[in-house]
A and B are shown apart, each in its own frame.
Chain A
Amino acid sequence: MVEINLKHIYKEYDGNDNYSVSDFNLDIKDKEFIVFVGPSGCGKSTTLRMIAGLEDISKGDLVMDGKVINDLAPKDRDIAMVFQNYALYPNMTVFDNMGFGLSIKKMPKDEIKKRVDNAAEILGLTDFLQRKPAALSGGQRQRVALGRAIVRDAKLFLLDEPLSNLDAKLRVDMRTQIAQLHQRLQTNMIYVTHDQVEAMTMADRIVIMNDGKIQQVGTPDELYNKPTNKFVAGFMGSPSMNFFDAELKNGRVSNGRGLDVAVPEGRLKVLREKGYDGKKLTVGIRPEDIHTEQVALEAMPDAVVSAKVEVSEFLGTDSMLYSRTGETEFVAQVNARDYHKPGEEVEMAFEMSKAHFFDDDTELTIE
């Protein structure tokens, strides 16, 4: 229903010399589900609040459907927002909470009722409409907050860590509910979270931020498989990627402290072309790309290390092996059938065709 463009947006708070958000550029297409993800304090909420109009934009343009709306009051932007702590009006019933925005707009009573009932139906809140928020569980409050946004029928939904106050199971349930809601409403949503799993599972596109700057924008698949820099590679995925400071020599990367594996021909060619032969670089490999099965060991004979398992976590289908080779520590995620007890010496194959290489100085992916 709406296109939004953020053009070179900067935010500088009073009494805070650094930009909390700098040079933020993003074009949001119609009906997209965008997720802002990043560590705490990276400026996600700030960006969201600038879009909402709750914070002034220090520099840059916020464009909605072709119009610069930097100075438009929040109430005139037709944006609905769900807050982290829900921000339900404690003195009003669930019904009044959801209908508040509509009654402010002087909508007829029966129309309000129709919309609220409809939203309550979708969210399973019909039985609670006459209750006060204090008499609801966390998950119910969360849904009221969503309902308040739904009834407004706004052009854009903003959600700031809406699930962070829920317990793990409820969080997963609500995750699906919100995704379904997006399907159903077909509006643009911008969703803020610091949980990369939420980001991966819900987003059409993810905007990953650090230190007030966008690191990468892309689909979950792009971010996971083609991270543009070391930060993105490390942030996406759990457990996170193993990084090694190593040197490329004779077609092998080694750190002189236990790690020494061959780089496959194709990757090697690129690295050589970029002039990394004989130079230091950072090697990254995801835990699931380290294998213990016999087949793998045979297929990649020159990328095998022998490691000692220090801690072993059984997770059902997989198990995590916190291992060490020489003085180098890393994590491998292997099939649960390949369970190994702590203390065991195990041969492990590094699937280097899936490895990532980063420049030591710029931390950018070498490609």
Chain B
Amino acid sequence: MQETIKRKPKRKGKKIPFAYYMMVVPIGILFFIFHTIPFLRGVFYSFTDWSGYGTWKFVGLKNYLYMFGNSNITHAYWFTFKFALFATILVNAIALAIAVGLNGKIKYQNFLKAIYFLPYMLGSLIVGFVFKFIFGNLLPSLGQTLHWGFMSSNILGTTHAWIGILIMTIWQGLAFNTLIYLAGLQSVDPEIYEAAALDGVNPWQKFMRLTFPLIAPFFTINLVLSVKGYLMVFDQIMAMTNGGPGNSTTSISVEIYTQGFQGSQFAIQSANAVVLFIVVLTISLIQLRVLNKREERLG
């Protein structure tokens, strides 16, 4: 009567039904084909002299060495780092200030929050075009009427063009960062402040000793996302200066795009992309590590 089935004596775990594999594997394969393979191919090409078509041969590290000697590329790095640094610091400082303001005892709080978040909804390209007009037409004509020398020319046509891009980036970047800081501030239990008030803490101490440590995780999120995003800066540059004047506002992404597709530096720009990847990865990991450590200490 009894059927005994030969089983391995100790099969561990519960067998996962085939259907579950089918829910992951196909899309995983697609991801591999369209994301991982291009990535690996990019790494591969960076060691060749391929120009995008035709024959190729291995050239070892030549492309990487070339990158360091090429003033356009080194300038793109210099510009991108400078831009990312300023944008990150300014966006986060201003966003934090706005968030503190929004979190104050103000009226129309939700309405104002919605207004400050609005720029997040708008594509950087279009916003870039609008700011290009503001810097190129509106401000100069305003400057001329008011006889303000510094404003009477188009800043995007000068060596300070990057400041124009920076301003536009701040205008748009504030939205997201403010929202996150506000979420952080609102997660703080007001009773903590009441307790602090009883201890006679002044506003500055309150911010530095209480608020800031409590919203440290939100600071981490913003910092990591900001740096990563600004190292990739592309849309607004294409809209406002196309990398000019000269190549003064050419970011790494813009350099990869223009030289990789339109120029003939497919392989060199592949190397550039690999370096960009390493830079982004390193900076993100360092940030996460340092900031998490600090959070732990604060916590």
Classify A-B as touching or not with yes or no (CB < 8 A): yes
Query: Within the complex, what minimum Cβ distance (angstroms) separates A98 from chain B?
Result: 26
Chain A residues, Cβ within 8 Å of B15? 56
**Contact of B3 with A58 in the complex, beta carbons under 8 Å:** no
Any B CB within 8 A of the CB of A195: no
**Contact of B2 with A68 in the complex, beta carbons under 8 Å:** yes
Q: Which of A57-84 contact B (CB under 8 A)?
A: 58-59, 61, 63, 66-68, 70-71
**Contact of A61 with B14 in the complex, beta carbons under 8 Å:** no
Any A CB within 8 A of the CB of B297: no
**Contact of B3 with A67 in the complex, beta carbons under 8 Å:** yes
**Contact of A14 with B9 in the complex, beta carbons under 8 Å:** no
**Contact of B12 with A71 in the complex, beta carbons under 8 Å:** no
Chain A residues, Cβ within 8 Å of B12? 12-14, 56, 58
Any A CB within 8 A of the CB of B41: no
**Contact of B2 with A67 in the complex, beta carbons under 8 Å:** yes
Band of interface residues on B:
10 to 19
Any B CB within 8 A of the CB of A347: no
Any A CB within 8 A of the CB of B22: no
Chain B residues, Cβ within 8 Å of A71? 5, 7
Q: Is the interface of B mostly helix, strand, loop or mixed?
A: loop
Chain A residues, Cβ within 8 Å of B4? 61, 68
Number of residues on chain A facing chain B (CB within 8 A): 15
Any A CB within 8 A of the CB of B11: yes
Q: A59-B9, A70-B7 are in contact. Are A54 and B14 (CB under 8 A)?
A: yes
Q: Please, how many angstroms separate the alpha-carbon atoms of A58 and B1 in the complex?
A: 23
Chain B residues, Cβ within 8 Å of A12? 10, 12
Any A CB within 8 A of the CB of B13: yes
Q: Determine the residue in chain A with the shortest Cβ distance to B3.
A: A68
Any B CB within 8 A of the CB of A360: no
Q: Which of B1-46 contact A (CB under 8 A)?
A: 1-5, 7, 9-15
Select B2's contact among A14, A56, A59, A66, beta carbons within 8 Å. A66
Q: Please, how many angstroms separate the alpha-carbon atoms of A71 and B4 in the complex?
A: 11
Q: Please, how many angstroms separate the alpha-carbon atoms of A61 and B5 in the complex?
A: 9
Chain A residues, Cβ within 8 Å of B3? 67-68
**Contact of B14 with A56 in the complex, beta carbons under 8 Å:** yes
Q: Which of A344-361 contact B (CB under 8 A)?
A: none
Q: Please, how many angstroms separate the alpha-carbon atoms of A67 and B4 in the complex?
A: 8
Chain A 5-30 interface 0/1 with B at a Cβ cutoff of 8 Å (1 = within)? 00000001110000000000000000
Q: Please, how many angstroms separate the alpha-carbon atoms of A12 and B9 in the complex?
A: 11
Chain A 27-71 interface 0/1 with B at a Cβ cutoff of 8 Å (1 = within)? 000000000000000000000000000111011010100111011
**Contact of B9 with A56 in the complex, beta carbons under 8 Å:** no
Query: Within the complex, what minimum Cβ distance (angstroms) separates A17 from chain B?
Result: 12
**Contact of B14 with A63 in the complex, beta carbons under 8 Å:** no
Chain B residues, Cβ within 8 Å of A66? 1-2
Chain A residues, Cβ within 8 Å of B14? 54-56
Q: Please, how many angstroms separate the alpha-carbon atoms of A14 and B15 in the complex?
A: 12
Q: Please, how many angstroms separate the alpha-carbon atoms of A54 and B5 in the complex?
A: 19
**Contact of A68 with B5 in the complex, beta carbons under 8 Å:** yes
Q: Please, how many angstroms separate the alpha-carbon atoms of A269 and B175 in the complex?
A: 90
Q: Determine the residue in chain A with the shortest Cβ distance to B4.
A: A68
Q: Determine the residue in chain A with the shortest Cβ distance to B7.
A: A70
Q: Please, how many angstroms separate the alpha-carbon atoms of A34 and B3 in the complex?
A: 26
Query: Within the complex, what minimum Cβ distance (angstroms) separates A212 from chain B?
Result: 15
Query: Within the complex, what minimum Cβ distance (angstroms) separates B9 from chain A?
Result: 6
Q: Told that A56-B15, A58-B11, A63-B2 touch, could you supply 14 new A-B pairs with CB distance under 8 A?
A: A55-B14, A58-B9, A58-B10, A59-B9, A61-B4, A66-B2, A67-B3, A68-B2, A68-B3, A68-B4, A70-B5, A70-B7, A71-B5, A71-B7
- What are 24 A-B interface contacts by the 8 Å CB criterion? A12-B10, A12-B12, A14-B13, A56-B11, A56-B12, A56-B13, A56-B14, A56-B15, A58-B10, A58-B11, A58-B12, A59-B9, A59-B10, A61-B4, A66-B1, A66-B2, A67-B2, A67-B3, A68-B2, A68-B4, A68-B5, A70-B5, A70-B7, A71-B7
Interface residues, chain A, with chain B CB atoms under 8 Å away: 12-14, 54-56, 58-59, 61, 63, 66-68, 70-71
